[in-house]
Amino acid sequence: MKKNKKVDKTLKGRAENKHYKKYIIQKEKLKAKYPSSLFERGDQGRCMIRTNPEEQLLWNSYIKKLLDIIFKNNGHFQRFLWDVLPEQEKIKRDYLTKPSKSPYYNY
């Protein structure tokens, strides 16, 4: 097994990761499609409560599309997460996803 270079898991390391950069670009493109008032913050830094039903529908639509980007199979965010996983976790996941070679052993 070849050794991977050590991955920097700090914020600086995220900014240098090519998959994370592509994910941020996708997220910003999605955010640009919605009105800026949707992303305003309240007094305590949290998103404001949406009392307008139309605004709530827009917010739900934004969240759904953002989650589609995040959970897309083999997407940029998934690849970024795979890059920052510890080596031991990668080995464990590879082992669990490989099919058994024994016909007598079933999962």
Q: What is the pLDDT of residue 70?
A: 94
- Of 18-27, 51-60, 82-91, which one has max mean pLDDT? 18-27
Please give the share of the chain, as a percent, with pLDDT higher than 90. 32
Residue 43 CA to chain centroid, in angstroms?
27
Prediction pTM value: 0.68
Judge contact between 69 and 75, C-beta under 8 A.
yes
The 10s digit of each residue's pLDDT in 38-79 is 887 777 666 667 778 898 899 999 999 999 999 998 899 988
Q: What is the pLDDT of residue 9?
A: 55
Among 10, 11, 23, 8, residue whose Cα is nearest residue 77: 23
Within the chain, strands assigned E span: none
